Amino acid sequence: MKNIYLFVVVILILSSCHKNGNITPPPPNEEDTTLYKVTTIADLPGTATGLAIDSAGNIFCTCKSAIYKITGSTVTLYAGSPTDTGYINGDRLSAKFVDPVGVTIDKNGNLYVIDALNWVGYEVIRKIDVKGMVSTVVYTPNLYHEYDEYNDTLLARNDTSGLLYQINDAQVVGNQLFIYTLHNNRYLGYAYMPIQNNLAICNIDDSFRMVKSFEFDTYNTARGFRVSQDNNYVYLSNAYGIYSLNMLTGSINPTNIYDNNFVDFELGEGDTVIYKPRIDYCTIDRMSIATGQTSTIAGQKDTLPLYISHLSKDGVGLDASFNHICYIKKKGKYLYISETDEGVGTSFKIRKMRIP
């Protein structure tokens, strides 16, 4: 009888709390659907370079000579060392990197890191597999670039061993690794001289054998790219604009962007829009691919000089503010943003913004 009495009292108390509105709050990980809400995930030392997100939502970013992993708001060293550079393969925490400038991830959780070997003037792609072992998978064999600068004699057609000099971006698409490079033998430093770019497509499961390659000229250096969901188009950026490459015909055309005030970009809303940071205003714009209509969706326009630190504040849409945005990556309904303190160069943030 006593147990029944206690049970009734507990029920009455809970009922009273519910009526007064004192109910248990939702779990902290419940999704916030506020459109264009910007929140800071983590602060790290150094200058932001590459950014990738795996299927579980873990964030990987490259900085100095290290690769970091962010789970929730917890930052851990994943590979390399922030203070000790080098070119050593092996276990990820014993391995050494020179200057990792980009990272991408495949469906199995293997990382691919662009490492700039500054002392010899070219870049390689190194793999960190799910067991934590580091190996080199794409490289340039001609150490001192003794090639025919007019005939591209190092560019092999059956593998990636002849990729020249500067790998600007690399991304996993399905079972393939797309590699966007600049052929430095065409870049002689003359103004308005066409610069040869290359997009190589390599099979991950076939020793990274190159299966297709596109070459095209632009009037500035390659920066980044995104592949459409149907794999029919690749959007590529340089300092003058974003170009669309038709994968079926090989033709390349500029989109409706012709300004040079952005760095990275991202596709969204079923590949109908482009999200692009502006480095002159420290904002993020949304542009319709079909019409070119552009609007600022987040950040406060800041016309302070680029070489000083800018305000960085969480908020919604135009109430948020950014420092110097380096990279953005889309995962699900979020844009993940890395931004650096340009004026000091000693720290950077990883942030996320809800998108449609």
Tens digit of pLDDT for each residue in 185-199? 444 444 445 567 778
Residue 138: predicted pLDDT? 82
The DSSP code sequence of 13-44 is HHHHHHHTT-PPPPPTTSPP--TTEEEEEEEE
- How many angstroms separate the CA atoms of 111 and 4, rounded? 59
For residues 155 and 301, the model is more confident at 301
Sheet holding 334-340, edge to edge: 315-316, 37-45, 347-354, 334-340, 324-331
Rounded Cα gap, residues 143 and 141, in angstroms: 6
pLDDT attached to residue 244: 86
More confident call, 264 vs 57 = 57
Place of tokens 């992993």: 69
Q: E-strand spans in 175-333?
A: 176-182, 195-203, 209-218, 222-227, 233-238, 241-246, 252-254, 266-268, 273-278, 283-288, 294-298, 315-316, 324-331
For 43-83, write each residue's pLDDT tens digit.
888 777 889 999 999 999 998 899 999 999 899 999 999 99
Query: 251 Cβ partners below 8 Å, 6+ apart?
Result: 245
Neighbours of 229 (CB within 10 A): 9
Q: Phi and psi of 7, rounded to 5°?
A: -60, -45
C-alpha 68/C-alpha 212 separation (Å) is: 32
Q: Which of 17-26, 129-138, 168-177 has the lowest mean pLDDT?
A: 17-26
Contacts of 311 (CB under 8 A, 6+ apart): 300, 302, 321, 323
Q: CA-to-CA distance for 163 and 155, rounded, in angstroms?
A: 6
pLDDT beyond 90 at 39: yes
Q: CB-based contacts of 224: which residues, under 8 Å, 6+ apart?
A: 168, 169, 180, 236, 237, 263, 264, 265
Q: What's phi and psi for 15, nearest 5 deg?
A: -65, -40
Q: What is the pLDDT of residue 197?
A: 76
Give the 3-state secondary structure of residue 204.
Answer: helix
Tokens 């995962």, located at residue: 331
The Cα–Cα gap between 284 and 330 comes to 13
Task: Provide mean pLDDT across the span 236-253.
Answer: 81
Structure tokens at 181: 């490079």
Instruction: Determine the pLDDT at residue 176.
Output: 93
Mean pLDDT (the chain) is 77
pTM as predicted:
0.81
**Can you read off the two tokens belonging to residue 259?**
């300004």
Name the CA dihedral angle for 164, 79, 263, 181, rounded to a multiple of 10 degrees: 10
Scan for tokens 């297709």, then name that residue. 212
pLDDT at 326 over 60: yes
Alpha helices in the chain (DSSP H): 2-19
Question: Do residues 329 and 266 touch, judged by C-beta distance below 8 A?
Answer: yes
Structural tokens at position 97: 């990197």
Among the ranges given (80-84, 165-169, 336-340), the one the predictor scored with the smallest mean pLDDT: 165-169
First to last CA, the chain: 56
Considering only CA atoms, which of 322, 353, 316, 349 is closest in space to residue 335?
Answer: 353
192, amino acid identity: Y
Domains detected in the chain: 31-354 (2.130.10.10)
How many angstroms separate the Cα of 26 from the Cα of each of 30, 34, 72, 334? Answer: 7, 16, 18, 21
SS3 169: strand
